[in-house]
Amino acid sequence: MALFRSDPTFYPSARLAALAPPERHAFVAALNPNGSGLHDALVTVDVDPSSTTYGSVVGKVEMPNAGDELHHFGWNACSSALCPYAPHPHLERRYLLVNGIRSSRIHVIDTKPDARNPKIVKVIEAEEIATRAGYANPHTAHCGPEGIYVSALSAPSGDGPGGVFLLDHESFEVLGRWEVDRGPQSLAYDFWWHLGHDTLISSEWGTANMVQNGLDGGILMNSGYGHQIHIWDLRHRRHRQAIDLGKEHQMVLELRPAHDPTRTYGFVGVVVSLKDLSASIWTWHRDNGKWTAKKVIEIPAEPADPEKLPPILKDFKAVPPLVTDINLSLDDRFLYVSCWGTGEIRQYDVSDPFHPKLTGSAHLGGIVRHAPHPGHPQAPLNGGPQMVEVSRDGRRVYFTNSLYAPWDRQFYPEGIRGWMAKLDTNPRGGFAVDPKFYVEFGELRGHQVHLEGGDASSDSYCYP
C-alpha cells in the first residue's frame, strides 16, 4: 500500500529547519527593464561553495510574454502543511508562484527534477484573477495550511481596494477573495500571520495607480501612501484592528513575524519619514488582548552634495536610507535591514525585540557612495542592498539591488546594473561580505531571492 509522506523540506519547527542541509541553489526573480519585447526571467544561481560554478547563473527560464515586471514570488507549499489542521500534508515544495506586478500574471514554475532547468507549467492570466477574485497586480505569495495566499495591490482598475486572494494548492485555480469583512482596510502590500493565534497581519504601500509610474511627490507629501498595519482574524477572515504608525511614516512594507509560534511579535519596516527622511523599524506585539506597535529602530538620512543626487532628492540635500526590505533569522535573533538609498546592509540583535542592538554593517552601492564589492574593489556599484534572504541556519544572507523599475529610474537614473551579493555571518553577531560571491545578471535586474528547500521568509511553523 502506498503511503503519503511529508516533503522532507517541511519542518515542524524553525529549530528543526535550522538543522537542515545547506542550500545548493537560489532562485531569483529578474526584471528585463529595457523596453517592450524583452522578457523577464526566473534565474537559478549556484550557491554551493564546493561547486565549480559557485556564484554563477546556472539556469534561466524566460517568461512567455513581455512586460510582466517580475517582483515577489513564493512556494506552493511549505512547513505550514504540517500544522495540525492542515488538509494537505502530502504536498511537496516543488512549484514557485512568480508574480508579474505590472501584467497581473502569475507563473507557476516547476523546479523539479532539475533546479537548473525550471519549467513553466501554467500561467494564470490577469482576467482569471480579476473575474474570480476582483483583484490585480499580485505582489506577495505565501503558502498557508489550506491554500496559497497572494496579496494584490489593486482592483482591476488600478485603484483600491487591494487585498488577498487564494489559489488552490494543487490545481492553482483562483479560489476567490480572502476577506469576508475588510473593515477600513484599503491599501495593501505584504501580509503574514501568527498561525497559532489565528491572526493575520497586513501592511500598506499603495495601489498600482499610485506606484507604477514612480514615486509620486504629491501623494508622498500629502501622506497618501500607506502608514498602517492591519490585524485580522485569520480563521474568520475579518478585520479586527488598524494600527496607525502616523501619517509621517510613509510606506509600511515588509512584515517579519517571529518564527516561534509562541511569540506574538514581529517587525515591520517603514521606508521614509516626512519629518527628516529617516527610515524606521517597528515591533508589533499583543498587549492585554490588543495589538500595538512601537518604533524600535530609527536610521537617519545622510547629508549629501545636491550635485551628486538624482533630481527627486536634490532639494533635500540628503540621501534617505530607504529601508525597502527586512528579514529575520529562524532563531528570531538577528534582523537584517536593507538601506537601498545609502547602500547599507545592517544586522541587529533582536533577542530583546524592544531594544535591538546594531551588530553588523556593510556598504555596497548607494546613491552617493557607489561602494564597491570586496571582490571587485575597482568597480563602483550602483543600486544598493534591496531584497534580502537568510538561509535556514542563519549563516548566509543573500541580497540583490533592484527595487522596482519605475522607482529604480528615479533614484538611480544612470540605470541599475543588476548584481547579487552574499554575507557570511558569525553566530555571535556580525558578518563579512563574501569576496568570492558576486553575481552579475547582464541585461536583467535581480529582485527577490528564494532558496532551494526553504529559507527565512518562505515558511511558517506551528510548533515551537
- CATH (domain of 348): 2.130.10.10
Is the per-residue pLDDT at 439 higher than 80? yes
Q: What is the mean pLDDT of residues 297-322?
A: 97
Query: Three cell numbers at 167?
Result: 489559489
C-alpha 433/C-alpha 364 separation (Å) is 9
Q: Over 60: is that where the pLDDT of 177 sits?
A: yes
Residue 464 lies in a domain: no
Query: Cβ contacts of residue 71 below 8 Å, gap of 6+?
Result: 29, 31, 99, 100, 101, 139, 404, 447, 448
Please, which residues have CB within 8 angstroms of residue 355's CB and are 6 or more apart in sequence? 296
Low-confidence winner among 141-145, 319-323, 330-334 (lowest mean pLDDT): 141-145
Is residue 7 a part of any domain in this protein? no
Q: Three cell numbers at 453?
A: 528547500
Predicted confidence at residue 4, as pLDDT, reads 64
Amino acid at 414: E
Residue with cell 529595457: 34
Rounded to whole angstroms, how far apart are CA atoms 162 and 185?
8
Q: How confident is the model at residue 95 (pLDDT cuts 50, 70, 90)?
A: very high
Question: Which pLDDT value is given to residue 117?
Answer: 96
Cβ contacts of 171 within 8 Å, gap of 6 or more: none
Domain range spanning residue 442? 14-451
Q: Which amino acid is at 135?
A: Y
| Mean pLDDT value across residues 84-92 | 79
| Nearest residue to 333 via CA among 256, 229, 231 | 256
Q: Please tell me the predicted confidence (pLDDT) of residue 89.
A: 66
Model confidence pLDDT, tens digit, residues 338-376: 999 999 999 999 999 999 999 999 999 999 999 999 999
- Average of pLDDT values for 30-35? 90
Q: Is residue 457 part of a domain?
A: no
Mean of pLDDT over the chain: 96
Residue 8 in any domain: the answer is no
Q: What is the mean pLDDT of residues 154-161?
A: 98
In a domain, 29, yes or no: yes
Q: Quickly count: other Cβ atoms within 10 Å of residue 380's Cβ.
A: 13
Q: Answer yes or no: is 460 within a domain.
A: no
Structural domain includes residue 197: yes
Q: Is 413 contained in some domain? A: yes
How would residue 2 be classed by pLDDT, with cut points 50, 70 and 90? very low
Strand order through the sheet with 25-31? 57-62, 41-46, 25-31, 445-451
CA distance 274 to 279: 10
Please report the pLDDT score of residue 37 as a whole number. 79
- Specify which residues 398 forms β-bridges with: 389, 422
Total number of domains constituting the chain: 1
pLDDT at 404: 96
Q: Who contacts 400 (Cβ-Cβ below 8 Å, separation ≥6)?
A: 28, 386, 387, 418, 419, 420, 445, 446, 447, 448, 449
Q: What span, in angstroms and rounded, lies between the C-alpha atoms of 106 and 139?
A: 10
How far is residue 171 from each of residues 95, 381, 382, measured CA to CA in Å?
Answer: 11, 43, 41
**Residue 1 — very low, low, confident or very high, per pLDDT cuts 50/70/90?**
very low
Short-list 379, 352, 382, 389, CA closest to 367:
382
pLDDT band with cut points at 50, 70 and 90 for residue 227: very high
How many percent of the chain have pLDDT more than 70? 98
Question: Which of 329, 378, 322 has the alpha carbon at shortest distance from 350?
Answer: 329
Span 203-207, mean pLDDT? 98
